[in-house]
């Protein structure tokens, strides 16, 4: 019988939370009901992170206190690993800008080709009801 | 061109006439200033006798209204959809002379001046119905703290009750709506204690739906410059007093509601906050 094996031993204590939370994308569009969202599979998370990391250097901007009114307001990413921004809280993806929020600061990365938005929109195709998916704007050309 | 119909008869056709050029300009000016209480044409008190005026705008007049995202076919009956200007009906009745039989005109005039009966449609400020209102310009209670902003939605705002639970119609009283439809949301709200009539001090709210995707609520707030205002809080975004076109909201029915195009109706909540919602 193992008596207290590892009991109190720091090196044997496992993180009760288990693995890190999965990267999550939320479609910020609704008013009454909660926004829909899903956990990004590893390959998708890697793809989105790579797209964000490839964007030009951003500029400090005022936080987007009002991301918009009724209807689609953007994608919100949480728990996405970004090597250049390891401490960020969340990422707000717009059609032509990606905002990385860290504490009270916001870094706005221009996404002139809308690459991140387009990638997330494509992934939303099979995740959302058709009517809600159609409310997500297509990228500007 | 603007055609006015006095909705008063049951069996006979209602009297109709066109406004003169001068009357048309004056009426449009009132409408653009938000001084005409507009309700959906299909909504009425459903009673015999005077039921308000139906307004049909065409041509250039329609263009003017559409330019401000106002309807071109609507009912004018103060207190039905919003209490904006009790004089609007009197003005339209004046335009009826000499086109309408004097006896018909008199019958309408008596109802326009008489307050609604208790339990029916009521005029704001009358003894039977008053509105509990909050500021139309200061939203600190909802917006200042990010936790409050993120965790309270349109239904919280309409209820004037901050739960941080992203409240859902019916959930606080044991039966949330099953799916999004006007009937489901309205019935769930009724379970939360909302009413379809105004009695005493009330919150005055309205809702609309976006297909079967979502719903949204607005609440009547303090008047500004003598004109009633409505405000709302789209999901986790800040509470505000403007619509999707950036215009101040004098009536959510006529405001730009974005995708929330299916009108649900107006409701009243007893007291200054609907504390049953969760």
pLDDT per residue over B203-219, tens digit each? 999 999 999 999 999 99
Q: A110-124, pLDDT tens digit by residue?
A: 999 999 999 999 999
**Is A139 within the bounds of a domain?**
no
**Is B35 within the bounds of a domain?**
yes
Please write down the long-range contacts of A125-134, taking CB distance under 8 Å and 24 or more positions apart: A127/A36, A127/A38, A128/A27, A128/A36, A129/B212, A129/B213, A131/B211, A131/B212, A131/B213, A132/A27, A132/A29, A132/A36, A132/B213
Confidence of residue B94 (pLDDT cuts 50, 70, 90): confident
CB-CB under 8 Å, B213 with A131: yes
Q: How far is A135 from chain B (nearest CA, A)?
A: 9
Confidence of residue A62 (pLDDT cuts 50, 70, 90): low
- pTM, rounded to two decimals: 0.69
**Claim to verify: residue B98 and residue B182 sit in the same structural domain:** no
Q: How many domains, chain B?
A: 2
Q: How far is A67 from chain B (nearest CA, A)?
A: 7
Cβ burial of B254 (10 Å; 0-12, 13-18, 19+) is buried
Confidence of residue B123 (pLDDT cuts 50, 70, 90): very low
Show the tokens assigned to B236: 């986790």
Residue A126 in contact with partner chain B when CB distance is under 8 A: no
Neighboring chain A residues of B236 at a CB cutoff of 8 Å = 28, 35
Mutation site, A27, A29, A32, A34, interface B, largest B CB count within 10 A: A32
């989105």: which residue's tokens?
A48
Residue A104 in contact with partner chain B when CB distance is under 8 A: no
Residue A63 in contact with partner chain B when CB distance is under 8 A: no
Q: How many domains, chain A?
A: 1
Q: How far is A108 from chain B (nearest CA, A)?
A: 19
Residue span of the structural domain in which A86 resides: 21-133
Which one of B70, B86, B113 terminates a domain? B113
**Is A141 within the bounds of a domain?**
no
pLDDT of B127: 39
CB-CB under 8 Å, B240 with A66: yes
Nearest CA in chain A to B185: A32
CB-CB under 8 Å, A69 with B234: yes
**Is A7 within the bounds of a domain?**
no
Task: Count Cα atoms within 13 angstroms, Cβ side, for B251.
Answer: 29
Residue span of the structural domain in which B65 resides: 2-113
**Is A6 within the bounds of a domain?**
no
């Amino acid at each position: 019988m193992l008596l207290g094996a590892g009991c109190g031993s720091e090196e044997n204590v496992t993180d009760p939370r288990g693995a890190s939370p999965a990267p999550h994308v939320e479609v910020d569009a609704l008013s009454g009901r909660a926004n829909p969202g899903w956990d990004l599979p590893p390959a998708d998370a890697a793809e989105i992170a790579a797209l964000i990391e490839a964007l030009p250097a951003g500029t400090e901007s005022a936080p987007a206190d009002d991301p918009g009114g009724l209807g689609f307001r953007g994608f919100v990413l949480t728990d996405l690993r970004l090597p250049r921004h390891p401490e960020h809280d969340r990422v707000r993806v717009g059609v032509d800008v990606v905002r990385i929020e860290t504490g009270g600061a916001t870094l706005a990365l221009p996404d002139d080709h809308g690459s991140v938005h387009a990638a997330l929109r494509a992934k939303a195709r099979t995740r959302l009801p058709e009517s809600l998916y159609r409310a997500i704007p297509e990228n500007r050309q | 061109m603007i055609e006015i119909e006095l909705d008063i008869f049951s069996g006979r056709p209602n009297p109709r006439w066109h406004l003169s050029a001068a009357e048309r300009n004056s009426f449009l000016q009132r409408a653009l200033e938000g001084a005409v209480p507009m309700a959906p044409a299909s909504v009425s008190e459903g009673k015999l006798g005077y039921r308000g005026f139906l307004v049909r705008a065409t041509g250039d007049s329609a263009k003017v209204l559409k330019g401000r995202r106002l309807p071109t076919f609507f009912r004018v009956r103060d207190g039905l959809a919003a209490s904006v200007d009790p004089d609007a009906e009197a003005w339209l009745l004046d335009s009826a002379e000499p086109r309408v039989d004097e006896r018909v005109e008199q019958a309408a005039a008596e109802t326009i001046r008489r307050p609604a009966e208790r339990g029916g449609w009521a005029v704001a400020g009358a003894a039977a119905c008053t509105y509990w209102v909050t500021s139309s310009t200061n939203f600190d209670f909802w917006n200042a703290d990010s936790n409050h902003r993120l965790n309270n939605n349109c239904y919280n705002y309409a209820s004037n009750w901050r739960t941080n639970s992203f409240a859902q119609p019916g959930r606080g009283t044991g039966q949330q709506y099953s799916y999004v439809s006007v009937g489901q949301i309205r019935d769930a709200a009724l379970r939360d204690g909302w009413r379809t009539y105004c009695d005493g001090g009330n919150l005055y709210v309205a809702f609309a739906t976006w297909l079967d995707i979502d719903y949204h609520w607005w609440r009547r707030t303090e008047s500004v410059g003598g004109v009633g205002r409505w405000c709302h809080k789209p999901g986790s975004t800040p509470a505000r007093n403007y619509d999707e076109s950036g215009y101040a909201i004098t009536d959510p029915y006529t405001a730009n509601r974005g995708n929330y195009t299916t009108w649900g109706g107006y409701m009243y909540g007893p007291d200054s906050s609907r504390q049953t919602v969760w």
